[in-house]
Amino acid sequence: MIEPITKPGYGLGAQDSSSRQGMATPEAREHSEGFVARTLEEQTAKLPSDVWLWAALGSMGAALFLRMNDRKGESLFVGQWAAPFLLIGVYNKLVKIGGSDRVHH
């Protein structure tokens, strides 16, 4: 059986002690998020995470509908939206859980 790592500073959401106390390291300042990325993350964090899941399922349903109506090209186009929606949802969840920037909190 694999034991989870429970030591402080390890695992998901682990941060060094300086970022937890609000003191950013020089490395963190050098690699901090830009204004646009920070603004987008603040706005998308306001959406519930399941919005992205429903968008992916909706695009798959729309693709199925289009395919059943002999609109193959449009079906393939719309069906390819599912993966980006799911990827955005995962990114959004990670940003909500761990944050993306150690400098601007």
Domain residues of the chain, as ranges? 39-98
Q: Residue 10: what pLDDT?
A: 46
The pLDDT tens digits of the residues spanning 2-54 come to 555 554 544 554 444 444 445 666 665 666 677 887 787 788 778 888 899 99
Contacts 24+ apart (CB under 8 A), 54-57: 55/81, 55/85, 56/81, 56/82, 56/83, 56/85, 56/86, 56/89, 57/82
> 42 and 92 in contact (C-beta within 8 Å)?
no
Q: Which residues contact 59 (CB under 8 A, 6 or more apart)?
A: 78, 79, 81, 82, 85
Q: Residue 84: what pLDDT?
A: 95
State yes or no: pLDDT of 72 exceeds 90. Answer: yes
State yes or no: pLDDT of 83 exceeds 90. Answer: yes
